[in-house]
A and B are shown apart, each in its own frame.
Chain A
Amino acid sequence: MSTRASTLTGRIMSAPSIIVLFLWMAVPLGMTIYFSFLRYNLLSPGMEEWIGTLNYEFFLTDPAFFASLANTLLLVGSVLVITVVGGILLGLMLDQPIFGRGILRLLVIAPFFIMPTVNALVWKNLLMDPVSGMFAWIASLFGLPAIDWFTNAPLTSIIIMVSWQWLPFAVLILLTALQSLDRDQKEAAQMDGAGPISIFFYITLPHLSRAITVVVLIETIFLLTVFAEIFVTTGGGPGLATTNIAFLVYTQALLQFDVGGASAGGIVAVILANIVAIFLIRLIGKNLDN
């Protein structure tokens, strides 16, 4: 791609996909921004009027906004910690030549292929149900009272379900990173007198830093928009206990029929996601260099 002609050809060839991508992103974004400045309620069609930043004022001063912002951050943070730590431990185990490793790897990866709604239903009806769930049955074996997960620990329940869904992704990335660790380096550290724990902290963990960065960045993108698990199980409740930003926008738009307010919420969510992204890339993105 060095001559002027080949550069031009390249631009022409890639133009269609760039145009499609641009329209696909720009048009919905533009429409959302436009709607966010309108009074636009589905219950009173044809009454749309320009109201300036009033939608934003309502959304940002709503106590539900701060509650759901806190929930979002708590959910993202907890799931990241659980999946990264659990992913490293499971990765280390699956990297050992243990019996039945092939089948074990398959089983560990499996949850990633289950769709979030099914995942949520399995946890809600088969595992966490206080009457017929498996956890209640286990508790009864020890003579303990059953826990009503979604009433007493709603956000924890969501965190557990989402972690279960995302753990395989972390294991997959971290396991491949572990497998690429040069055996000589471990042996050199062994010769240098490092025990297994020193080797883990001085050799293995620094080697994994890049893979951990990838896991954190990608998971954050998806975890900011967790919706299905909440919708299927708690419906954002009790109260606002499990409402995150994505779910709040949904309640605005489709439960209160307030398209204008929901659009404003959507734009706020986009801005928040960007703040988190900038923060993350500043903080750990330099691991991806060199």
Chain B
Amino acid sequence: MGAIRLEKVKKTFGTLDVIPGVDLDINDGEFVVFVGPSGCGKSTLLRLIAGLEDVTDGKILINGTDVANEAPAKRGLSMVFQSYALYPHMTVYNNIAFGLKMAGESKEVIEEKVQSAAKILNLTDYLERRPSALSGGQRQRVAIGRAIVRNPAAFLFDEPLSNLDAALRVNMRLEITGLHQELKTTMIYVTHDQVEAMTMADKIVVLQAGRVEQVGKPMDLYNSPANKFVAGFIGSPKMNFLGGELAQKHSCHEIGIRPEHVAVSTENGEIPATVKIAEHLGAETYLHVEADGYGPMTVRATGEVPLGEHDKIFLTPEQDRIHRFDAHGLALGNS
């Protein structure tokens, strides 16, 4: 059981309002991802939930009880740190067992729990090693092992994959998702990488400057972003924002169109443009173009496209995929 509820959670460092007041509901068993640019307060929010920082004001309810003034260990949460924070002088076994030992569990219980965690994470052969003798992925797994033996109400992950190389990151992403399906425990995961957020989350919380910009399922955020910030942050490459004539035609301040929702033609279309750089990836081609009257845009064409620098092309946005924004950057609903 691990339902977490934040009520008007506030954090200030001196005179700096890091988190001006956040309300959030996290249901039991949900995989929630906090995502946002660096310095948006997502790690601080996680540390507030963990109890590693004191809240300035507000309530943190875990299964209905306010834990805002409880010590971290009393909250029944486990955390996986970005740096893994393994204890370097202890073996893998002792690293995983440390929390149980502190809780005063008997030797037999510890042995059993550590062995079962090691089995889930494929660490059985490494239990007698020190962290310094492990690879990045294995260290990551030890950190997760240390978290799961305590059978927490919820797992907290603080950018756990950012120290891994690209291939391993994809692997660990799948492993963590698999672990969530197996354990069905609430997980809160902090990342600045919107790809991780999109692929792993049941629910994404987009943060900017300590404020919650939007909460929703990955596809809801992709299809109907609440404002320009979410629209630009979710999806890769970034959404294109166009003002001018085209925006007037849709009776709004600015329109947004994703690179994958623009048709590319060499003969005719709505917006004439010149190719600056073409990135050929095989399955798809990203064209960085200079659109006449609108400035730089990115568009995606499927498959191999024989286009290069200085080629003239025409772009046509898919009409039902256009997002409209007002002068304050708020979404106006699809036209």
Contact = CB atoms under 8 A, between A and B. Distances in A.
Contacts of B50: 191
A185 B87 contact: yes
B46 to A, nearest CB: 12
Interface in A177-192: 182, 184-185, 187-192
Contacts of A191: 50, 52, 72-73, 77-79, 99
Contact of A184 (B71, B72, B85, B98): B85
A194 B72 CA distance: 10
Give the size range of B's interface with the partner: 20 to 34
Interface string A188-200: 1111111000100
B122 interface: no
A193 B102 contact: yes
Nearest to A186: B85
Given A202-B98, A203-B87, A192 B132 contact: no
B81 interface: yes
A194 B85 contact: no
Which of B77, B82, B85 gathers most chain A CB within 10 Å?
B85
A192 B81 contact: no
Nearest to A209: B89
B11 interface: no
A184 B99 contact: no
B150 interface: yes
A198 B102 contact: yes
A290 B81 contact: no
Contacts of A187: 52, 72, 79, 81, 85
A192 B89 contact: no
A206 interface: yes
A290 B132 contact: yes
B73 A193 contact: yes
Nearest to A290: B132
A207 interface: yes
Interface majority SS on B: helix, strand, loop or mixed?
Answer: loop
B235 to A, nearest CB: 32
A188 B81 contact: yes
A237 B102 CA distance: 52
Contacts of A194: 73, 98, 102
Contacts of A193: 73, 99, 102-103
Interface residues of A, number: 18
Nearest to B81: A184
B78 to A, nearest CB: 7
Nearest to B102: A193
A117 to B, nearest CB: 42
Interface in B79-118: 79, 81-90, 98-99, 102-103
A190 B52 contact: yes
B85 A182 contact: yes
Contact of B89 (A188, A189, A206): A206
B192 interface: no
A36 to B, nearest CB: 46
A190 to B, nearest CB: 5
A56 B81 CA distance: 63
Interface in B213-231: none
A190 B83 contact: no
Given A202-B98, A206-B89, A188 B79 contact: yes
A182 B83 contact: yes
A171 B66 CA distance: 42
A268 to B, nearest CB: 39
B31 to A, nearest CB: 20
Interface string B40-80: 00000000001010000000000000000001110001110
A102 B4 CA distance: 43
Contacts of A203: 87
B139 interface: no
A190 B89 contact: no
A209 B89 CA distance: 10
B323 interface: no
Nearest to B94: A202
Which of B50, B81, B90 gathers most chain A CB within 10 Å?
B81
B85 A185 contact: yes
A189 B50 CA distance: 13
Given A193-B99, A193-B103, A194-B102, A188 B85 contact: yes
Which of A191, A207, A290 gathers most chain B CB within 10 Å?
A191
Nearest to B73: A193
Contacts of A198: 102
Which of A185, A206, A209 gathers most chain B CB within 10 Å?
A185
Given A185-B85, A194-B73, A202-B87, 6 more contacts: A184-B81, A188-B87, A188-B146, A191-B77, A193-B73, A207-B88
21 contacts: A184-B82, A185-B85, A187-B52, A187-B72, A187-B85, A188-B79, A188-B86, A188-B87, A189-B87, A189-B98, A190-B52, A191-B77, A191-B79, A192-B73, A192-B146, A192-B150, A193-B102, A194-B98, A202-B98, A207-B88, A207-B89
Interface of A: 182, 184-185, 187-194, 198, 202-203, 206-207, 209, 290
Interface of B: 50, 52, 71-73, 77-79, 81-90, 98-99, 102-103, 132, 146, 150
